[in-house]
Chain A
């Protein structure tokens, strides 16, 4: 399975942009890059996903390197509510055409008021 590598933790000041990196050097051509986050005492929630092109939605932006071996989740203005564990995951398309969502340790983001 293709794996991802993220920093264990990051800090950001409130109302400043945050860039959360993810390395996935063994990504395959059909792997989608997904980001989820988990707020304290809650279940994970979807943030954004992409394949090759950069993506934007109301929550964040996803910048994908040209060789797809890394990506960056961008929160444009961090708020206290963005303090969470952020997971970068690859959707693995198995030989049997089945699918599952595998989470790594993630990055714990702290937002400083």
Chain B
């Protein structure tokens, strides 16, 4: 158990809908990362937050947004969903987000868009 909790574990929704994925980082970790993993794209970095502020942005679509709350949990919002958004979404956390720290990953949320 990495200490990172993601909910829900599975989500099935229709095209055009909006969903929210939730991540609770390890106790004490200030930095949260979101990744998307699809069969043909591998692990793609989406966005990173540190203590409530956006720190780095990757290949995140405009239809997607995220935030980190004062209690440090984070939510990834996906809207106007398309079939291609079906993927595993992972959240990871680390203490400070520094380059010599290890990141701890959750078990992921499997999103299926039908």
A residues engaging B (CB < 8 A)? 30-32, 34, 36, 38, 42-46, 49, 51, 87, 91-94, 98-106
Contacts and interface: CB of A to CB of B under 8 A. Distances in A.
B80 interface: no
A101 B93 CA distance: 11
A51 B48 contact: no
Interface string B54-70: 01101000000000000
B97 interface: yes
Contact of B55 (A34, A36, A99): A99
B100 A91 contact: yes
A43 B99 contact: no
B108 interface: yes
Contacts of B58: 100, 102
Contacts of A93: 99
A101 B2 contact: no
28 contacts: A30-B99, A31-B99, A32-B99, A34-B102, A42-B107, A43-B90, A43-B106, A43-B107, A44-B105, A45-B105, A49-B100, A51-B100, A91-B100, A92-B99, A93-B99, A94-B56, A98-B48, A98-B50, A98-B56, A99-B48, A100-B56, A101-B45, A101-B103, A102-B45, A103-B42, A103-B43, A104-B42, A106-B42
Interface string B91-114: 010000111101111111000000
B101 to A, nearest CB: 8
A98 B55 contact: yes
Contacts of A32: 99-100
B42 A45 contact: no
Contact of B102 (A30, A46, A98, A102): A46
User: Could you say which of B4, B33, B56, B108 has the most chain A C-beta atoms within 10 Å of its C-beta?
Assistant: B56
